[in-house]
């Protein structure tokens, strides 16, 4: 299935392809503040529909994850990084996807504080 997503102001729009079966709720210092529910997909399943220049990037700690956000409204639609084997991945904030019933998705809690 292909999902459409965006930031609040619409300056960042994207599509992501895959089967959304569960989300992750991470308790690390940034995810807990953002309140994001994350869906991990291979990076090639995420397609940006607006110019890259609409996005800003924040990295912290070991700088393994690029936390991407809209330069205009500040909403965080996704992050980019690699899985343990080095495969490029995207962490989609499902709260930014259109037509998703969040209450119907199983939530897996992830202890990011422990990393």
Q: Mean pLDDT, consecutive 10-residue segments, the chain of 115 residues?
A: 97 98 93 93 97 94 91 96 95 97 94 83
The token pair that represents 53 in the structure block: 């220049």
Contact 3, 20 (CB under 8 A): yes
Q: Domain 2-114 belongs to what topology? A: 2.170.150
pLDDT at res. 49 = 98
Distance CA(13)–CA(4), nearest Å, equals 7
For 33, the enclosing helix (H) or strand (E) is helix 29-34
Q: Does the reported pTM lie above 0.75? A: yes
pLDDT at res. 112 = 84
Contact 39, 78 (CB under 8 A): no
Q: Which residues are CB-contacts of 74 (< 8 A; sequence separation ≥ 6)? A: none
pLDDT at res. 114 = 84
Q: From the CB of residue 44, how many other CB atoms can be counted at a distance below 10 Å? A: 11
HSE at residue 102, side-chain half, CA atoms within 13 A, is 13
């Amino acid at each position: 299935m292909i999902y459409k997503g965006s930031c609040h102001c619409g300056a960042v729009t994207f599509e992501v392809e895959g089967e959304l079966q569960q989300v992750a709720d991470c308790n690390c210092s940034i995810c807990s503040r953002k309140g994001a529910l994350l869906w991990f997909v291979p990076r090639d399943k995420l397609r940006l529909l607006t110019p890259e220049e609409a996005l800003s990037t924040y990295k912290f700690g070991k700088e393994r994850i690029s936390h991407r956000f809209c330069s205009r409204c500040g909403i965080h639609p996704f992050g980019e990084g690699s899985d343990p084997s080095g495969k490029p991945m995207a962490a989609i904030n499902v709260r930014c996807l259109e037509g998703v019933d969040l209450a119907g998705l199983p939530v897996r809690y992830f202890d990011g504080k422990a990393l």
